[in-house]
Structure 1
Amino acid sequence: MLLQNVDGRSGWARRMRDLMALHLSDLGGGAAVSAAEKSIVRRIATLTVELERMEERFATGGEADADALDLYSRTSGNLRRLLEAIGLTRRAREVTPALSTCIEGRLT
């Protein structure tokens, strides 16, 4: 159950459940995750759904006012901190092989 006394069939609730499942899977599955991590994942899913809703409003409105953009920015920062708390890591993309392949292709 996502939330008590809430119809879990709404688009918001379905998206939140989907996001929670994706993050829990990334962490090794629900059985491998502590209660504290599950709580953080729930907050991550909530913030993500709300940020997506804000992005939709920005896109359909063609712009974002200063207050909405400020809220979006602060919420994004909080989301990043929560993601880091459960192990978000930046993975550098390997560019050397692609560069050497490109150079070799030009030389031949």
Structure 2
Amino acid sequence: MARTQTRPADSRAGSALSNGTALVLGGKTVDGRSALARRFRDVYGELRNEYATNSGGPITPSADAMLRRAAQMTTQLDLLDRDALAGDEIDIKLYTTTSDALNRALAACGFHRQLREAKRGVGAGARDQFKGASSFGGMLIDVEPERNDD
């Protein structure tokens, strides 16, 4: 029995989302030049780079999906932060729920472990090694309380 190929051999045969030429699936026109689209692309690229560097291997489709979700939640939280800092009321339940979901998405990709290791390190050298983790909300990532095993 011949195996069927799950991914197209030619990257041009995949969806625009899979091959990186579109931010979202078809059906909705998205101007990739807007501030929000640029922010999403920046965060997504930084998360992918950090994940690839720390995992030491290729980015799997499941990890890529989680990184895409994390980038989207980060941009949505950025909008809520902007509104709150401007003095506008925000939906605190939405903010908290999105923050928690972002934390879980980043944890699923291993970012919480990196932050914990950086905190346990000695001096600034160890923190510098993992400084990228803090750029995505280090306080959000490390929500587990430190355990006192006395």
TM-score by length of 1: 0.76
Alpha-carbon shift at residue 28 of structure 1 (Å): 1.5
Aligned match of 2:81: 55
The residue aligned with 1:79 is 102
For the aligned residues, what is the CA RMSD? Answer: 2.2
Structure 1 letter corresponding to 2:65: S
Match of 1:57, as an amino acid? Answer: D
- In the TM superposition, 1:23-102 aligns within 5 A as 23-28=47-52, 32-61=58-87, 64=89, 68-88=91-111, 89=113, 90=116, 91-94=118-121
1:6 aligns to what SS in structure 2?
coil
Which residue identity does 2:52 align to in structure 1?
G
How many residue pairs match? The answer is 93
Q: Which amino acid aligns with 1:17?
A: R
Q: Which structure has the larger Rg?
A: 1
Letter in 2 for 1:2: L
Distance 1:51 1:10 in 2: 17
Unmatched runs of 5 consecutive residues or more in structure 2 = 1-21, 125-150
Cα distance, 1:94 vs structure 2: 4.3
**SS at structure 2 position matched to 1:32:** coil
Query: What percentage of aligned pairs have identical amino acids?
Result: 32
The Cα offsets for residues 37-73 of structure 1, whole Å up to 9 and x where unpaired, read as: 1111110001000001101100001x645xx111111
Q: Report the 3-state secondary structure (helix = DSSP H, G, I; strand = E; otherwise coil) of the residue aligned with 1:18.
A: helix
Residue among 43, 54, 57 paired with 1:19: 43
Return the structure number with greater helix share: 1
Q: Which has the higher contact order (CA 8 A, sep 6+)?
A: 1
Normalising by structure 2, we get a TM-score of 0.56
* Structure 1: stretches of 5+ with no match in the other structure: 99-108
